[in-house]
Amino acid sequence: MSLTAKFQDSQFAVGDKIRVSQKIHEGGKQRTQLFEGLVIAIKNRGENKTFTVRKIGEARIGIERIFPLASPTIEKIVVIKKGFGGVNRAKLYYVRAKSSREIEKIYSRASRRASSKK
């Protein structure tokens, strides 16, 4: 079980809110697609490492995508908000049943823990 992962020069962890830029090839054209959400799981080791990102889409429907960390289609990963300090588990599958308000508690716990350590 892994709690953190590193892609190029960015380090992210379970509970962080990230933005993944992915290259998409459609016919002869190429475009960049962004997927922004909460990292709910990081699995496996080495070359096989994958991470699952969950976002709330249109009409409050949850959308999850599993990205292989070694995928050549991933351009970059940007950490938007750190939430690792507020997480007590390696897999956050329980957030599937939570509201966005309850998920925000993860970030408030993380900020409280970070400020108390200083």
Express each pLDDT in 53-107 by its tens digit: 999 888 888 999 999 999 999 999 999 988 888 888 889 998 889 887 888 887 8
Separation CA 69–CA 49 (nearest Å): 6
Owner of token pair 């976002």: 55
HSE-up of residue 64 (Cα within 13 Å, Cβ side): 11
57 contacts 65 by C-beta, under 8 angstroms: no
Q: Write out the residue range of the structural domain in which residue 32 sits.
A: 4-117
- The reply to whether the predicted model has a pTM over 0.85 is yes
72, burial (CB in 10 Å: exposed 0-12, middle 13-18, buried 19+): exposed
Owner of token pair 């750190």: 82
Express each pLDDT in 22-64 by its tens digit: 999 999 999 999 999 999 999 998 889 999 999 988 888 899 9
- Total domains in the fold of the chain: 1
Domain CATH code at residue 92 = 2.30.30.790
